[in-house]
Amino acid sequence: MTRRRHARVEPAVLDVALEELLGADEQEARLDALASALAPPATVPSTSSRARLLASLKVTHRFDDLEATVAELLDLDAGAAGALLLAVDRPGSFTDGPGPGCTIFHVEGGPRVKDAVTGFVRLEPRCSFPHHEHLGDEIVLVLQGAFRDDDGTTHVAGQIARRPGGTAHAFAAEGELPLLYLAIVQRGVVIDGTPLLAGDPRA
């Protein structure tokens, strides 16, 4: 009789799957249940052991330093923001954007940004984002690369650029790296005379 061999799942793949399936609160609740089931009452794990165990469950990504900012801007908890930042490097997350070399990864934020167009935008080197008008206030967090605004201002990774509603501009990616940024525009944008509002798959 031939024994079936089960494919081995790498720990990193399991960690990503856990992070996507379970939020931080759910992970903590399951750890509590596991600790209660396995440990006699006299040997409950110490606070420091528990903290180390929770830290070991956290999946890291290359934008760890910006996770808290992304969470704040999108009105999400850190776990949800971290999962989105993991997904920006996953094939298939982005769809065609409004111009050559531009792709967009649409995301949903929390209640504070429910009426905003929210997403990550990738712009290849030397490509431009077309002229557009902001219907409400715009916040852009640069994750990678840099862009030069049509007023000559340059914004680089880690910086936040803000523009009030009613303003309009275009900009171009600078340098050799693709530009990657998070955009949040209250009420939406108008590109080539077409309004793109929250919930519109083209926005």
Distance between CA atoms of 191 and 99, rounded to whole angstroms? 10
In a domain, 54, yes or no: yes
Kindly state whether residues 49 and 105 are assigned to the same domain: no
Kindly state whether residues 111 and 183 are assigned to the same domain: yes
* pLDDT tops 80 at residue 178: yes
Give how many domains the chain has, as a whole number.
2
Kindly state whether residues 112 and 15 are assigned to the same domain: no
- Mean pLDDT across 21-25: 64
Kindly state whether residues 91 and 134 are assigned to the same domain: yes
In a domain, 203, yes or no: no
Among the residue ranges 49-53, 126-130, 165-169, the one predicted with the least confidence is 49-53
185-to-9, 52, 95, 104, 162 alpha-carbon distances in Å: 40, 38, 19, 14, 10
Kindly state whether residues 106 and 170 are assigned to the same domain: yes
In a domain, 156, yes or no: yes
pLDDT at res. 61: 83
In a domain, 1, yes or no: no
* pLDDT tops 80 at residue 148: yes
pLDDT at res. 6: 47
* Average of per-residue pLDDT values in the chain: 85
pLDDT at res. 157: 97
Distance between CA atoms of 49 and 44, rounded to whole angstroms? 10
In a domain, 174, yes or no: yes
In this structure, what CATH number is given to the domain that contains residue 171? Answer: 2.60.120.10
Kindly state whether residues 99 and 26 are assigned to the same domain: no
Return the structure tokens found at 84: 């989105």
Among the residue ranges 48-57, 71-80, 98-107, the one predicted with the least confidence is 48-57
Kindly state whether residues 103 and 32 are assigned to the same domain: no
- Mean pLDDT across 173-197: 95
Kindly state whether residues 35 and 108 are assigned to the same domain: no
In a domain, 126, yes or no: yes
In a domain, 131, yes or no: yes
Kindly state whether residues 55 and 136 are assigned to the same domain: no
pTM above threshold 0.85: no
Phi, psi (5° rounding) for residue 38? -95, -30
pLDDT tens sequence across 80-126? 999 999 999 998 999 999 999 999 999 999 999 999 999 999 999 99
Quote the domain boundaries for residue 25: 11-59
- Mean pLDDT across 10-18: 49
pLDDT at res. 29: 75
